[in-house]
Chains A and B, each alone.
Chain A
Amino acid sequence: MATNYSRYRRADDFGTPAPVQESTETVTLTIDGVDISVPKGTTVLRAAALAGINIPKLCATDSLEPFGSCRLCLVHIEGARGMPASCTTEAGDGMVVTTQNKQLADVRRNVMELYISDHPLDCLTCPTNGDCELQDMAGAVGLRDVRYGYAGENHLAAEKDTSNPYFTFDPSKCIVCSRCVRACDEVQGTFALTIDGRGFGSKVAASQDQPFLDSECVSCGACVQACPTATLTENSLIEMGQPEHSVITTCAYCGVGCSFRAEMKGQEVVRMVPHKEGGANHGHSCVKGRFAFGYATHPDRITTPMIRNTIHEPWQEVSWDEALSFAAKKMKGIQAEYGQGAIGGITSSRCTNEETYLVQKLVRAAFGNNNVDTCARVCHSPTGYGLKATLGESAGTQNFDSVMKADTIVVIGANPTDAHPVFGSQMKRRLRQGAKLIVIDPRSTDLVKSPHIQADFHLPLRPGTNVAVLNAIAHTIITEGLEAKSYIDERCESDAYQDWREFIARPENSPESVEQESGVKADVIRGAARLYANAPNGAIYYGLGVSEHAQGSTTVMAIANLAMLTGNLGREGVGVNPLRGQNNVQGACDMGSFPHELPGYRHVSDPAVRALFGSEWNVSILAEPGMRIPNMFDAAVAGQFKGLYVQGEDVAQSDPDTQHVTAALSALECMIVQDLFLNETAKFAHVFLPGSSFLEKDGTFTNAERRISRVRKVMEPLAGLADWETTIALAQAMGYSMSYSHPSEVMDEIARLTPTFTGVSYDKLDALGSIQWPCNAAAESGTPTMHIDEFVRGKGLFRVTPYVATDERTSRKYPLLLTTGRILSQYNVGAQTRRTANSNWHDEDVLEIHAHDAEQRGIEDGDWVGMKSRAGETVMRAVISERVQPGVVYTTFHHPASGANVVTTDNSDWATNCPEYKVTAVQAHKVTQMSDWQQKFEQFSDEQEKFLKGAQSVTEETLN
């Protein structure tokens, strides 16, 4: 394998973006005697850069619209008067451009002289020394002297703003090019920065001239990346100095799957810079991916395997061999005593495709059963079920860029600006260009109203009534004759459509009938229905607010019905797009992590598929589906399930009805946890196998657009083994041999066995950057848009979607509906982000409650509030919020001690058992102390911490 490394240099910058309208028309011009043809709409600056001619520039960069303020990029154009700025001049056919001559040089030197007279001359000790555009330009224009001297009025003494934990703002170095302001507006869409004042007095200010941390800034870092000077600089760079090599890899946080350049010094990451060629992110990122990588080297990382006989005794540090044979012996012992089906495994949506594939292979081949499941069970399993049933493939239909062609965007139960920030920014860009917006969400999310964005319709439905509202939208479309008749005739099964039509036209599905139940006004539903149905391109995006319900799968099918009904599938700008939570949820599902499916979503009951895998793996695979995670827990409580291998998941914190989960985990005789940290689940484990972070291994992740991207190793695994190697070693210890010397060989096996992956290989990924599956003979370089001429299942299938009210209803005892979600700076159970400075933004989970409900209960902002449901009780701090409706309360679950899942119930989606996180009936009241559960939790955690410390100190003693 060739090395992943390339010598560090600043990413290429062509000065201005490529023209938006990809026109086929080209223009040919001559620049410094060189002929070059470029697409119409290209600027002279960009045309020159494409020809390899670098015109000096400062205020222009190719991630931003040109601004024309610095006057450094001036050129001569034959027949044109004066010296136009090349960054704002469009290249014309036959233009003859001169970029360098005496007159231009003089003007440029003068410009630089002015800049430098108000700039500190401490280049040698400046953090960006060696990578500074101002320095480069001074060199390029040949600045030798500053005639004005440095004694005039200047900003050299301006104070630094170090409030943000990740970057420093040093205004003394600012040249007021406004690249940062434009980055915040155009790229991120937060509008946190302004240029305050005029002329000499002008300066960059965050919000109302506040410290960055207190401003509206969301710390995405776009301004830092855009700044040509040391004014906005990453703290890690200030500490460590310039990187020496870089490696392209993929963010391990969310389902956007941003591509990054890991900029390195030896095995240390200096900074993560979003990769301009990244297909998902085009050079943008959020605070998590860019800055929150410190967890990977956090002192809490456990790097030595540990074992113990019961969870009530201290851990013992041991060698890998000892840990693995201990684990294998226990698992085999359990099978001998309780049967082959008494053990199982959980794959991780945070690990790579290859690792996930190996875990399900271990379960099916070495454990000899189908008891494998994944955390997608608790988030997007309904997506898999619903989209497969209707369209034929368990995945989103578009790429992210498709949103730039959407005319009406519908966002259902998703909060992209927080949970999928980079895609959220892209969506906002499209909305600022004029696309219409419908938000269906109990909460007033950021999208409903934020700078320069205002939803055309917000449907603040009561949690649990998604299906009723979507049915009413479909009802409106049908009864008002807005459906796409010829599309339906041509592309959908007509019997099923007629059945569905008869059902949806029933009066019980009208907006007026569901108004009462859903809390959404009938005319708002009708307006939204018309706006979506009449749009040339209507695109639906949805998140966990759709799937995590008792009718999650039904809602997904209702969404697919709507898209088929309006002909919004099979081209750019439309589609049905699940926004996946964790980085590799799509991949984990693709890789056969579900108990009923082999890789590529093929049911275990299919003898041909079983034979295919069976012969490659040398085993016979069971034809009956295995246990889902909740089945495993139920069976554990019943004493029928005794051994579990968990890779990179934290079921004890992330799964609902915590007390039931901990009862199940406590009943296990052998739990093997493989993770970076002693997470909540590991506190119930008997074997701890140290995991490796995404920086420590090779592999691939698949994002929400089905885009497979490479994860590349930039440092050695801290514990000696990468996760895929550990699974192989565990299989070996159990007597099943797997021989791979590199994850690329695992991918080759996946490609051999899975029709949608036939054309995927590491070589092709290296060549193309990323690939959207299906990738095979029919689509050599992948498939950005699915279902173009026909649906994967052939004809689209309308599924009848009756609304069934959830059992989880409010009552006199539990009058409020709790719904849950997530926030930007923290990720999932927070095991990673809590171990970074991101906790500056969110150091505890809080309960958002409407002023009216708070007042009734005598609750004030900041009070401790007990929240009780049928499942349990926990205590959190209250925040009075206008974002929730009266009767609805909201919280997040990023911190274990807040116990949000103590309150959530074991209700789940009828088809997939995805838990109903989004609806729990609760009561809230003011309290003065932690709940019983929290007190017990604290006690248990303290004890487990001691067991861990005990292990580490014992080992130290024996070593000394």
Chain B
Amino acid sequence: MNVSKLVRMANQIAQNFDVGERDKAVAAIADHLTRYWTVEMKKGIVAHLNQGTTGLSELAEAAIVELSKNEAYAA
């Protein structure tokens, strides 16, 4: 799937959790992706982490690092 679309969606999700404590926000974003994205989308965005410039916001990127800890979504 088109990775730039995934990046756009991840950034949008992150923006909407961007209040309050950072740890909570990161966990909430990772949880949202886990619950609503397909495996392929999760794998796609995790794989994209290894690109130099991801286009991801700092918060979104932190959440995807969190997501990548799940082996099922490893690239």
Contacts and interface: CB of A to CB of B under 8 A. Distances in A.
Chains A and B come from one and the same complex? yes
Interface of A: 341, 499, 503, 550-551, 554, 595-596, 603, 605, 624-627, 631, 634-635, 637-638, 640, 800, 802, 804, 910-913
Contacts of B5: 634
A747 B33 CA distance: 33
Closest 4 interchain pairs by CB?
A910-B12, A624-B39, A910-B16, A800-B19
A164 to B, nearest CB: 48
10 contacts: A596-B35, A603-B35, A625-B35, A625-B36, A635-B1, A640-B1, A800-B19, A804-B16, A911-B16, A911-B32
B20 interface: yes
A290 B40 CA distance: 47
What's the dominant secondary structure at chain B's contact region? helix
Interface of B: 1-2, 5, 9, 12-13, 15-16, 18-20, 32, 34-41
A635 B5 CA distance: 11
A893 B41 CA distance: 31
A503 B19 contact: yes
Nearest to A369: B38
B19 A802 contact: yes
Given A605-B34, A625-B35, A802-B16, 11 more contacts: A503-B20, A596-B35, A596-B36, A624-B38, A800-B19, A802-B15, A910-B12, A910-B15, A911-B13, A911-B36, A913-B9
Contacts of A503: 19-20
Given A550-B12, A911-B16, A631 B41 contact: yes
A631 B16 contact: no
Contacts of A341: 38, 40
A796 to B, nearest CB: 18
A605 B35 contact: yes
Given A635-B1, A640-B1, A910-B13, A802 B38 contact: no
A625 B35 CA distance: 7
A866 to B, nearest CB: 28
A596 B39 CA distance: 12
A313 B52 CA distance: 47
Contact of B38 (A550, A554, A605, A631): A631
A637 B13 CA distance: 23
Given A341-B40, A625-B36, A625-B37, A634 B19 contact: no
A637 B9 CA distance: 18
A85 B37 CA distance: 69
Contacts of B20: 499, 503, 800
A802 B41 contact: no
Contact of B2 (A554, A603, A624, A638): A638
Interface centre among A551, A596, A624, A637 (most CB of B within 10 A): A624
A636 to B, nearest CB: 10
Nearest to B38: A627
A551 B40 CA distance: 25
Nearest to B21: A499
Nearest to A635: B1
A503 B36 CA distance: 27
Nearest to B8: A807
A804 B11 CA distance: 12
A648 B3 CA distance: 31
Given A631-B1, A635-B1, A638-B1, A551 B16 contact: yes
A468 to B, nearest CB: 14
Contacts of A804: 12, 15-16
A802 B18 contact: yes
